[in-house]
Amino acid sequence: MQKNLVIVESPAKAKTIEKFLGGDYKVLSSYGHIRDLKEKGLSVDVANNFKPDYVIASDKEALVKTLKKAAKESQMVWLASDEDREGEAIAWHLATVLELTKKDSKRIVFHEITKNAILHAIENPRDINLNLVDAQQARRVLDRIVGFELSPVLWKKIMPSLSAGRVQSVAVRLIVEREREINQFNAEVYFKVVAEFILSDGKTLLKAELNKRFPSETEAKAFLESLKDATFTIEDINTRPGKKSPTPPFTTSTLQQEAARKIGFSVAQTMSVAQKLYEAGFITYMRTDSLNLSTLALNAARKEIENDFGDNYVKIRQYHTKTKGAQEAHEAIRPTYIDRKAVKTSVPEQKLYELIWKRTVASQMADAELERTTVTIGISNRQNEKFIVNGEVIKFDGFLRVYMEDSDDENQDEQMEALLPPMKVKEILNLSEATAAEKLTQRPARYTEASLVHKLEELGIGRPSTYAPTISTIQHRGYVTKGNKEGESKLFITLTLKNKHIAKTTKTETVGADKGKLLPTDSGIIVNDFLTENFPQVLEYTFTANLEKEFDKIAIGEMCWTDTLHKFYDLFHPVVQTVSASKYELKVGEKILGTDPKTGKPVSVKIGRFGPFVQIGSAEDEAKPLFASLAKGQSIETISLEEALRLFQLPRKVGESEGKPIEAAVGRFGPYLKYDNMFISIPKGYDPYHITLEEAEKLITEKKEKEANKYIKLFPEDAGLQILNGRFGPYISYNRVNFRVPKGVVPTELSFEETMKIINAAPAKSSKTAKRKKK
């Protein structure tokens, strides 16, 4: 009989742990949850105190048989799932399904996968914490109730296949509200004045910014005029010491935010890579809202800093978690061994590990010591305005030697800080030049994945284990997309005073453009509006945050989980019934834009199964209504009557070329031309409504030339065999399956037999690849 069976969540984790334990231990993986609520139906007996109806997933049945057999053949079963609420629930489900008793099973937890941590856990086992299990059940059951009861209402009132979730709907609301703030924002023009002075030595330049901004070109020009005869004097030099302190070690949310800023990871990618690092034993548990570091880690950090930088760089700190109800783990995310500066794994893992290492070590380093200087320059004929220069000198770099945190703030004005030359009070300066540049006040920034996580955490919504799934879910459901937003061109004025002459120049800049931001879709906006109007309390930020606090209380045994569900259900269920029975004059999400001047029929915009569309007329009319899909970049929220009517002008006949018609149209991938069974994308700078025949023919010619250059060689022996030019160079295509041209081979010189030989010698393509090529 096997002495010990250890059950963990993932096979990668099992592999790492197996290396630390001797032959008396067998390590198996449960591959996450082995059972859950049924996929279909509510699967919760509301009348029976919200009793969940758990089932073993069909794809886990064989695994459960294996685990049962292994458990029966072992003297002791060690349940070693993760130490958060999900992990505790997994352990409880395993104990229940495998029919384990306290006598033949023990629960062990560890926040790092190292030999010492595993052995320490085995020496200090505990019982399954049923409070943590109840907190997980409360969240799971409550979220199932919300989804199960709300989704049919959305199907009935908006359209089929929609769904809603408790935390996800709040996240969508944040994004929709931010988009509306941006749409309603009126940017104000102002002129920022910057001057360049020459010091009394006649050669040193000093750049300074005026402490006032002007709202118009007239006022900015009048100010520059006044500088022509002004005298400039240094009125004050204020030097003061300053310091910068390091940021704490990573929690889940701060890791997600900083990985997005510094290495461009999505929230889901960060968690996936961190999971691999944890399971390989390189970092501590990655779902945590604790800032604590163990004494062992602090001592290791001290030793590392002393060895690399010296004693004066050490300042040991113990940070305290501000998040109320912090519950996911006992330590911040840190390297398991701080003397391991790098790991030899995949590039993403190396990058994330380096970030974690630097942040951990920097958190235990001395403050950076600075000297900040502010110079005030007076203007003889303008008593209320001053030019200001800010300088900063690092006297001791401290933690900056290792790490500096990035920021999400896009609206930070440029700080004019530099190393300043020697100066003295009452020194007279000569004006070299002054510029008044037109600027616009900045609109609110759209959310990135990282800044959304920060906002959710700030509001107390969600916990470390829920941020990544929430952001993935709202994108998967089509309520939010991560994409780019084209800006618009604007002419900006710059006035320059030099040698007592003011010159005016203009330049075009793009404003309002965004890249990689979270944007609400029409579906997301309509569902959000419907839910916030009809279920205001459920979508309220404080209500959602208070539920999280109740889950925290359940986790520490201060509240019964079914009490929370009763309280929520008694509030929520009656509203669902009322809303479901309500009738609306217009379909939810439908908007009347006005009247078609040609037919006098109403023009409306609404959402359908295949996306948003414009409709002229109604179903009650004798003639069938006209329909047109919204173009790329258009939204139900902002489309005007004029823009809606223009959609019916397409497809448009541009003209004929060689006796064949050319049509301009808009499809799901943007504007295009159709000519002789060819589809040609219309690039930026052209408009499907106004593109001329000459411009269309030019695009068609370019497409034909590109197609002609595509073929390097064709073979009369087999029409399915071709050598083609691709994005990455020449390649062989045989019956739509692609093969590389070997290095050193000249594609044009290949014979039919030589080409077939290359194909036959290539590794066999997988069935998935073959199917994909055939499509």
333 and 399 Cβ atoms separated by less than 8 Å: no
Helix, strand or coil for residue 733?
A: strand
- Per the document, the length of the chain is 775
DSSP 283: B
Q: Tokens 């004019």 — which residue?
A: 416
78 and 4 Cβ atoms separated by less than 8 Å: yes
DSSP 100: -
| CA dist., res. 449 & res. 516, Å (int) | 9
End-to-end CA distance of the chain: 53
594 and 603 Cβ atoms separated by less than 8 Å: yes
Instruction: Give phi and psi for 164, each to the nearest 5.
Output: -140, 145
Report the DSSP pairing between strands 678-681 and 670-675. antiparallel
Residues 6+ apart with CB under 8 A from 663: 651, 652, 653, 654, 673, 674, 675
The rounded Cα 69 to chain-centroid distance in angstroms is 43
The rounded Cα 504 to chain-centroid distance in angstroms is 42
Residues 6+ apart with CB under 8 A from 322: none
Q: Report the interhelical angle of 467-476 vs 267-279 (nearest 10°).
A: 140
Residues 6+ apart with CB under 8 A from 415: 390
Indicate left, alpha or beta for 41 from its phi (over 0: left) and psi (-120 to 50: alpha). left
Whether 319 is catalytic is no
Separation in Å, CA 166 to CA 142, 543, 720? 9, 11, 53
112 and 285 Cβ atoms separated by less than 8 Å: yes
| CA dist., res. 444 & res. 442, Å (int) | 7
| CA dist., res. 149 & res. 160, Å (int) | 14
Closest CA to 331 of 257, 251, 228: 251
| CA dist., res. 515 & res. 517, Å (int) | 6
Closest CA to 132 of 549, 545, 556, 464: 556
- How do the residues of the chain divide into helix, strand and coil, expressed in percent and rounded to 5? 35, 25, 35
250 and 359 Cβ atoms separated by less than 8 Å: yes
DSSP states along 586-620: S-TT-EEEEE-TTT--EEEEEEETTEEEEEES-TT
3-state secondary structure 351-403: HHHHHHHHHHHHCCECCEEEEEEEEEEEECCEEEEEEEEEEEEEEECHHHHCC
Helix, strand or coil for residue 665?
A: strand
Q: For residue 419, what are the β-bridge partners?
A: none
160 and 609 Cβ atoms separated by less than 8 Å: yes
Residues 6+ apart with CB under 8 A from 326: 289, 290
Separation in Å, CA 250 to CA 9, 162, 458, 747? 23, 36, 16, 53
Q: Which two tokens stand for residue 450?
A: 């990282």
Please tell me which residue in 285, 353, 672, 686 is annotated as part of the active site: 285
| CA dist., res. 216 & res. 562, Å (int) | 63
Active site residues: 285
